[in-house]
Chains A and B, each alone.
Chain A
Amino acid sequence: MTTKSATGQSPERVGIVQTKYFTFDELVLENGEKLGPITIAYETYGQLDSKRANAVLILHALSGDAHAAGLHQGEKTPGWWDSMIGPGKAFDTNEYFVICSNVLGGCKGSTGPSSINPRSGKPYALEFPLITINDMVNCQKRLIDHLGIEQLLSVAGGSMGGMQALSWLVNHPKSIRSAIPIATTPKHSPQQIAFNEASRLAIMADPNWNLGKYYEGNPPAKGLAVARTIGHITYMSDVSMAEKFGRQKKGSSQNEKFTADFEVEGYLRYRGDNFVKRFDANSYLYITKAIDHFDGFAGKPVQEAFQHVQAKVMVIAFKSDWLYPAYQSQEIVRACKIAGLQTSYCEVDSTYGHDAFLLEIKEESHLIRHFLKKIYYDYEVTDGYSI
């Protein structure tokens, strides 16, 4: 498992990057409603080759954005999957043209409930229609068309990103040569819906939420912070929490009651409070709903789900991920098997829980690097007895 690229260079960053924007007139949503104009924020890394055959679309999770790699001017924190995208990395920008866009319904540059509704001149808030994972993917398809790419080499993402990868497989099978769904599920279990519902209830219980109309006043920061806290608990594992925090107490002894006594409490409060600065509560509501309603097999029996798919698939799960347990990834593998797709599946050893797809870089890179190379060069192994 080498971290060097084929050219022998050590991994490095893609450098300074800028978010770009693509706007199109209108999209007919899955529920029949029309929404427009729609702006999609996106970033690209690397160069599109002359055959336009090396484009890889990265799909982000619930709270992600278009800034997947590199640094924005003047910033110190790189994109959310910088460890995986760059020269010599898993998504090797010396080889591939990597695209990442912010999802429809988001709040990081793409049209969402916090965007201005052209009909009222005010933020949409709850006027924004209910959107689906398939709607998000249909916007990505428009972006890909705009970039002049007929077929993507691959689509890849973890968690909600993995759901989008499945949506690409089922709804745009001819537009992709491969898909890499990571730490994901074909559909949410009642337990997964329950966690999302608890998050939504927290937001809606905040008096500042005001039925979504808070853009001119104070946002429901307390509610959103609690929602994020619930999320963070589900992203980690028993072991990863024990390793990170133990039962360590925070230093200062305060006289107040019910302060954050333990390290883990301090961490959750810090992450919750921080999240409020960068995320819109209504987006959280819309996106979690889209996740809960997602059905990767489009309501069909597993036997039919991937009938028309030709793409090659690599499914990755992580051992300690109890939010998206491996059995759910195996349901995807099962559908691939039944459809006779060329499929690989690996359950990576990890103690990080669901967060593993952002942290188990070495193993994940190994799997993805070799898989992509196979797809890109489409190599048929012939002649010779070599091993």
Chain B
Amino acid sequence: MATPYNDIRPDHRIILEWVTTNASVLDLGCGSGDLLYLLIKNKKAHGHGIEINVEEVYKCVAKGLNILHGNLENGLEDYKDKSFDYVVLNQSLQQILRVGPVLQDALRVGKKVIVGFPNFAYYRSRLQILFGGKTPVNTALPYQWYETPNLHFLSILDFVAYCSKKKITIERKVFLGKEQQVQLFPNVFAQTGIFLVSQ
């Protein structure tokens, strides 16, 4: 049952590092609840997840998590300002329809927001468009155009520019390649960007 630290998903490892002990966490689009479970187990975090897929909801319940089945795009308005230490939007931002309002709401209800998304400007994606002339499919963007749940295709630079425009403070950021962190030209070499932001 126990998973060695190194077997934890790299993005989860980063978030696990960032979240402080005893924090309250709202995980938006928490999937099967692996991250939330890790945070509870290792950081004594408390909180709950919101997930739209019922099969994932069943997995969360089996882990003993508090999970609300539903669309994260409705329902954030019920939480008071700053009700959570962290609101997590990991690999869910690019799949929601109204990115702006949801991110604003997340920044309102959370003291800090953790955002993780696939970097569309990853060099392999660039090459696939440039030379293949096709919608990129790779480990960061594993879906064919006709079956992708992603609605938005943003790059690391896009997100940084958005934060600057909306006066969102980027407190921490980490860029991930296939296995390890990317320091140089992240908008080219990173598959995933993870940001800790606040407002």
Contacts and interface: CB of A to CB of B under 8 A. Distances in A.
A343 B42 contact: no
Contacts of A386: 1-3, 41
A374 B75 CA distance: 25
Nearest to B79: A337
A342 B61 contact: no
Interface string B49-76: 0000010011011101111111000010
A1 B8 contact: no
B146 interface: no
A333 B75 CA distance: 10
A349 B69 CA distance: 12
B112 interface: no
A308 B65 CA distance: 22
Contacts of B65: 344
Given A338-B78, A342-B48, A370 B61 contact: yes
Nearest to B41: A381
Select the residue from B1, B42, B66 with max chain A CB neighbours within 10 A.
Answer: B66
Given A374-B64, A386-B1, A348 B54 contact: yes
A385 B54 contact: no
Contacts of A384: 2, 41-42
Interface string A348-375: 1100000000000001001100110110
Contact of B61 (A334, A340, A349, A366): A366
A342 B68 CA distance: 10
A347 B48 contact: no
A252 interface: no
Contacts of B14: none
Contacts of A373: 64
A385 B44 contact: no
Contacts of A379: 64
A346 B78 contact: no
A256 interface: no
Nearest to A379: B64
A345 interface: yes
A333 B44 CA distance: 24
Given A344-B61, A370-B64, A349 B3 contact: no
Nearest to A343: B66
B40 interface: yes
Looking at chain A's contact residues, the main secondary structure is: mixed
A50 interface: no
A386 B4 CA distance: 8
Contact of A349 (B41, B54, B60, B75): B54
A370 B62 CA distance: 6
Contact of B70 (A1, A330, A348): A330
Contacts of B8: 385, 387
B2 A381 contact: no
A284 B48 CA distance: 41
A379 B54 CA distance: 24
B123 interface: no
Given A344-B61, A381-B40, A387-B34, A337 B4 contact: no
A343 B68 contact: yes
A283 B64 CA distance: 40
Contacts of A216: none
A345 B61 contact: no
B37 interface: yes
Nearest to B24: A340
Contacts of A33: none
B157 interface: no
Contacts of A337: 68, 75, 78-79
A7 interface: no
B66 A344 contact: yes
A337 to B, nearest CB: 5
Select the residue from B42, B58, B69, B80 with max chain A CB neighbours within 10 A.
Answer: B69
Given A379-B64, A385-B42, A347 B58 contact: no
B67 A344 contact: yes
A1 B62 CA distance: 9
Nearest to A338: B78
Contacts of A367: 58, 61
Contacts of B131: none
A383 interface: yes
Select the residue from A330, A345, A366, A379 with max chain B CB neighbours within 10 A.
Answer: A345
A1 B78 CA distance: 32
Nearest to A314: B61
B38 interface: yes
Given A343-B48, A345-B70, 8 more contacts: A337-B78, A344-B68, A345-B67, A347-B54, A347-B70, A370-B61, A380-B44, A382-B44
20 contacts: A338-B78, A342-B66, A343-B68, A344-B48, A344-B65, A344-B66, A345-B68, A346-B57, A346-B67, A346-B69, A347-B70, A367-B58, A371-B61, A381-B40, A381-B41, A382-B44, A385-B3, A385-B8, A387-B8, A387-B38
Interface of A: 1, 312, 330, 333-334, 337-338, 340, 342-349, 363, 366-367, 370-371, 373-374, 379-387
The 3 closest A-B pairs by CB, nearest first: A386-B2, A374-B64, A381-B41
